[in-house]
Amino acid sequence: MSKFTIKDFKGVIPAAISVFDINEELDLDATKEFIDFLLSFDINGLYLTGSTGEGFLMKSEERIAEVEAVMEVAGDKVPVVVHVGNIGTKRTIELAKCAKDAGATAISSVPPFYWAFNSKQIFNYYKDIAEAVDIPMIIYNVPLAGLMSEEMIVELSKIDNIQGVKYTSTDIFEIPVIRDDIDKDFMIYGGADELASSNVLLGVDGIVGSFYNLFPDLFIQIYKNVKEGNVEKAYKLQRSAVVLITHIVRTGNMVAGIKALLREAGVNAGYARRPFINFYGEDQKILAKEVVELADKYELEDIKVIDILRKKFGK
């Protein structure tokens, strides 16, 4: 059983990568080392085996093994939410039960995808999972799996155990509407890295993101500056974040790019699984140099990974 409640799951939360070796095998020792790396930044929680964690490229047994390994390192330090989403309800419930047994604070899931499921089917998917496991559930509104309407989110919030939403849609104007239409205890998490500062301004309980693996200290600074009313400083940092994110995303291999930059900075983040295309050798160095150049252009300082890369490739 988790020592944390879902109310503790707030602040800056990386959607953690999964660490695979060069042969695409799950590396649990490196996983623990990477989680220690993230914890060194005083992050506020972890979100496991989601899209960034390449959860859909993993066997169920691998997802369970990763969660258990992470809980050994982080379970008593920060709340951990496990993404258990799968295309089938039965398999999702199996993963949800394993997450609970491992001591997760809560579970999360994208809506069922691929077959353009209708609203009733999506509602039943979440209802079945929430009723099968007595652990808080965070639903997930994300373009990759299909966005749900604000009305659907409100209806789902009425189900016992559904206690939050990870909101990765860019239509963030809906967040205050959701807050007004749902009980104030319902947790809302901003999921678009490019809108981190805006999400915090709108009053989300936490921000969960992919690039928090690479630049956790940058997003911690953004979060703190918004909370402290230093909006101009937060905007400057957010602008830098958007430029860096956009450059890496435009490579067409976001997850592989994050891992390549971490490796170049001396952090064992492993490699992405196919069909993602990894960066090797000179291509990895070129990407690192480009990131340093952009960081210099936008006067981005005191970001650990960038500072390491700047010593290697800066002028």
Nearest Cα to Cα of residue 34 among 76, 282, 21: 21
270: its two tokens: 């492993």
- Give the span between the Cα atoms of 42 and 179, in whole angstroms: 28
Question: What letter does residue 144 receive in the DSSP assignment?
Answer: T
Is residue 90 annotated as part of the catalytic site, yes or no? no
Is residue 298 annotated as part of the catalytic site, yes or no? no
Q: Cα dihedral angle (153, 155, 159, 164), rounded to 10 degrees?
A: 20
CB 58 within 8 A of CB 52: no
- Give the span between the Cα atoms of 306 and 287, in whole angstroms: 12
Instruction: Single out the catalytic residue among 125, 140, 189, 212.
Output: 140
- Give the span between the Cα atoms of 162 and 146, in whole angstroms: 19
Instruction: Single out the catalytic residue among 100, 127, 166, 259.
Output: 166
3-state secondary structure of 67: helix
Name 72's Cβ contacts closer than 8 Å, sequence gap at least 6: 32
Instruction: Provide the H-helix boundaries in the chain.
Output: 28-39, 60-74, 89-102, 119-132, 150-156, 174-181, 196-201, 216-227, 231-249, 254-264, 281-297, 304-313
140: its two tokens: 């997930």
Lookup result for tokens 């069922």:
112
Residues annotated catalytic, as ranges: 140, 166
